[in-house]
């Protein structure tokens, strides 16, 4: 097709004189036109097959071995949307009628060519109307296919909520027929008054200019109920006023059933976890009490009979006490993890000196470090920040961290330091020269009962609870924990305190 104000014409004419005459006649009227000449059937078909988008075809009625009827057949096959005007030197009324029946929009006699410009304008107008109609029809067909093939239920209602249109999915899913539904209120799908109110709210929302989304309990024709999600939006008329409601409804029953199942399973799992934690808590109390009694009795026995024991037999008492204390420590960790998971850990925030806390923790581990010939170094920041947290909880945290550092370090040192980061946030760091933590295990570092090496042949004792408990306690106190470690290169664990004062 040519530019907006220029028409593109294919002219089938074997007479150069007639072709020139018709061309001059068209241009003399002031009409802007690009005219391409085809002198025989071959040139005519070649031009059409080339894909040029013509606005109009003018064809001579009779050519050697070709005529208008043959040209119209070619047009019907290759470009049926292009209008054709037949020009003839002499044509009878019956033949003219046959030409029109064959698809021509008009015919003009050569002795009346003055009528040709008018015929061209009319043909172009008819062609444009036909094209617009074809485009509209194709749009309607596409829209209809899309609506009817949609996997969701689609309805159109008037402002009175009465149904104007439903797609096939509505018919298939609800069991109604098209005639059952048209004219009925959309509340026919509502199961109960609460669901009917959904459509009242829909109208209120859309009339304010917005779309509406909700969920409701629907009902089919046979009485079966279903869970549904609804999206409704306005359809405006030419004046911009709400004329109809476009509504899509999706069956979400499977999703709702899955949600209920997941909630039920989650509640079961949480109940089982609470039962487990309560069991561990009760068991821990039951075990710790007799163990404390054993330590007390062992001390009495050592004081009474130790001086009478020959040689190095006194070491037996030390071994007994260490074993019992290890059991007590295990029980206390089980009790702690059950408390933090049950939410029963007491929380009493207070202000305290970070240096004071760490000095007290270090003093409790000096003897253990000396036994492994490890040095505990301290490097405290001169500012000595006063942080706000639960002091007992933080004492437990640094106790676990220092215990792990000593446990996993064979040679070298452990360093406890404090400082301030670039944002003015105080931190404490526990650094060791131990075995380090593998990259694969770091993702499970805070999972209870997980250890880098497991099994009865593992080189280090413990249950894998120190860091999980620490993480829970730090979360409770609004603190952040960062781990920097790699296998064979030691570990540095940094605790940042977000609640802080300065002494």
| Least confident residue range of 74-78, 303-307, 444-448 | 303-307
Residue 353 CA: distances (Å) to CA of 217, 311, 384, 386? 60, 47, 7, 4
Residue 375 CA: distances (Å) to CA of 171, 222, 359, 382, 411? 81, 81, 14, 22, 9
List, for residues 47-61, the tens digit of each pLDDT value: 998 877 888 999 998
User: Mean of the pLDDT values across residues 277-304?
Assistant: 70
Per-residue confidence band for 334, with pLDDT thresholds at 50, 70 and 90 = low
List, for residues 19-75, the tens digit of each pLDDT value: 898 888 888 888 888 899 999 999 999 999 887 788 899 999 888 889 889 999 999
| Least confident residue range of 1-15, 188-202, 250-264, 398-412 | 1-15
Place of tokens 């920041």: 381
User: Mean of the pLDDT values across residues 240-244?
Assistant: 86
Chain-wide mean pLDDT for the chain?
A: 82
Which segments of 372-453 does DSSP mark as H helices, in order? 391-407, 439-442
Per-residue confidence band for 337, with pLDDT thresholds at 50, 70 and 90 = low
Is the per-residue pLDDT at 449 higher than 80?
A: no
**Protein fold of 257-342:** Helix Hairpins (1.10.287)
User: Mean of the pLDDT values across residues 389-394?
Assistant: 88
Highest mean pLDDT, choosing among 1-15, 209-223, 293-307, 450-464 = 209-223
Q: Tell which wins on pLDDT, 298 or 258.
A: 258
Per-residue confidence band for 261, with pLDDT thresholds at 50, 70 and 90 = very high
pLDDT at 281: 65
pLDDT at 457: 40
Of all residues in the chain, what percent carry a pLDDT higher than 70?
A: 84
Which segments of 150-252 does DSSP mark as H helices, in order? 168-174, 178-181, 193-207
pLDDT at 37: 92
Domain ranges of the chain: 7-145, 147-252, 257-342, 349-497
User: Mean of the pLDDT values across residues 312-317?
Assistant: 59
pTM of this prediction?
0.45
CATH match for 7-145 among 3.30.379.10, 3.40.50.300, 3.40.50.620, 3.40.50.2300: 3.40.50.2300
Which CATH number is 349-497 given? 3.30.565.10
Residue 212 CA: distances (Å) to CA of 67, 156, 167, 282? 63, 14, 20, 53
Is the per-residue pLDDT at 344 higher than 80?
A: no
Of all residues in the chain, what percent carry a pLDDT higher than 90?
A: 21
β-pairing, 153-158 with 163-166?
Answer: antiparallel
β-pairing, 349-353 with 163-166?
Answer: unpaired
Q: How far apart are CA 377 and CA 414, in angstroms?
A: 6
**Protein fold of 147-252:** Beta-Lactamase (3.30.450)
Bridge partners for 235 per DSSP: 244
User: Mean of the pLDDT values across residues 145-162?
Assistant: 89
Is the per-residue pLDDT at 502 higher than 50?
A: no
pLDDT at 315: 61
Backbone angles phi, psi at 321, to 5 degrees: -65, -45
Is the per-residue pLDDT at 304 higher than 80?
A: no
User: Mean of the pLDDT values across residues 399-406?
Assistant: 88
pLDDT at 226: 93
Place of tokens 């002795």: 111
Number of H helices, E strands in the chain: 14, 20
Tokens standing for 375? Answer: 């040095």
33 Rama sector, left if φ>0, alpha if ψ -120 to 50, beta otherwise: beta
Q: How far apart are CA 177 and CA 312, in angstroms?
A: 99
pLDDT at 288: 67
Which segments of 109-246 does DSSP mark as H helices, in order? 116-149, 168-174, 178-181, 193-207
Query: What is the dihedral angle through the alpha carbons of 35, 38, 42, 45, rounded to the nearest 10 degrees?
Result: 30
């Amino acid at each position: 097709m040519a530019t907006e104000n220029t028409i593109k014409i294919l002219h089938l004419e074997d007479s150069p004189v007639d072709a020139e005459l018709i061309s001059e006649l068209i241009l003399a009227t002031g009409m802007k036109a690009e005219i391409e000449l085809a002198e025989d059937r071959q040139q005519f078909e070649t031009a059409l097959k080339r894909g040029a988008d013509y606005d109009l075809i003018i064809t001579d009625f009779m050519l050697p071995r070709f005529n208008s009827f043959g040209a119209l057949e070619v047009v019907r096959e290759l470009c049926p949307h292009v209008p054709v005007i037949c020009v003839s030197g002499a044509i009878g009324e019956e033949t003219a009628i046959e030409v029109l029946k064959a698809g021509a929009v008009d015919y003009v006699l050569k002795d009346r060519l003055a009528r040709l410009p008018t015929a061209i304008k009319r043909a172009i107008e008819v062609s444009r109307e036909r094209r617009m109609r074809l485009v509209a029809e194709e749009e309607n067909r596409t829209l209809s296919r899309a609506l009817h093939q949609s996997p969701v239920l689609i309805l159109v209602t008037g402002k009175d909520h009465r149904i104007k249109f439903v797609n096939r999915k509505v018919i298939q899913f609800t069991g109604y027929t098209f005639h059952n539904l048209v004219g009925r209120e959309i509340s026919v799908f509502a199961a109960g008054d609460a669901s009917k109110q959904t459509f009242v709210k829909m109208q209120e929302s859309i009339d304010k200019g917005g779309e509406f989304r909700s969920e409701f309990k629907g009902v089919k024709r046979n009485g079966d109920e279903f869970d549904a999600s609804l999206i409704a939006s306005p359809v405006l008329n030419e004046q911009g006023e709400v004329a109809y409601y476009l509504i899509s409804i999706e069956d979400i029953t499977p999703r709702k059933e899955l949600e209920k199942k997941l909630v039920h399973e989650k509640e079961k799992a949480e109940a089982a976890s609470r039962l487990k934690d309560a069991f561990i808590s009760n068991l821990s109390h039951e075990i710790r009490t007799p163990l404390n009694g054993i330590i007390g009795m062992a001390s009495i026995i050592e004081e009474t009979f130790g001086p009478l024991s020959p040689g190095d037999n006194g070491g037996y008492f030390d071994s007994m006490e260490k074993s019992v204390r290890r059991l007590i420590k295990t029980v206390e960790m089980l009790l702690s993890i059950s408390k933090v998971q049950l939410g029963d850990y007491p929380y009493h925030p207070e202000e305290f000196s970070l240096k004071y806390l760490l000095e007290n923790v270090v003093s409790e581990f000096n003897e253990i470090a000396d036994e492994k010939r490890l040095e505990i170094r301290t490097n405290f920041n001169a500012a000595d920040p006063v942080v706000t947290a639960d002091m007992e909880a933080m004492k437990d945290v640094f106790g676990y961290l220092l215990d792990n550092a000593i446990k996993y370090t064979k040679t070298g040192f452990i360093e406890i330091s404090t400082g301030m980061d670039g944002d003015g946030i105080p931190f404490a760091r526990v650094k060791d020269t131990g075995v380090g933590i593998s990259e694969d295990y770091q993702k499970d570092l805070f999972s209870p009962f997980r250890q880098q090496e497991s099994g009865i042949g593992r080189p280090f004792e413990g249950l894998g609870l120190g860091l999980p408990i620490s993480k829970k306690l730090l979360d409770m106190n609004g603190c952040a924990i960062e781990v920097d470690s790699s296998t064979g290169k030691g570990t540095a664990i940094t605790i940042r305190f977000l609640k802080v004062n300065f002494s």
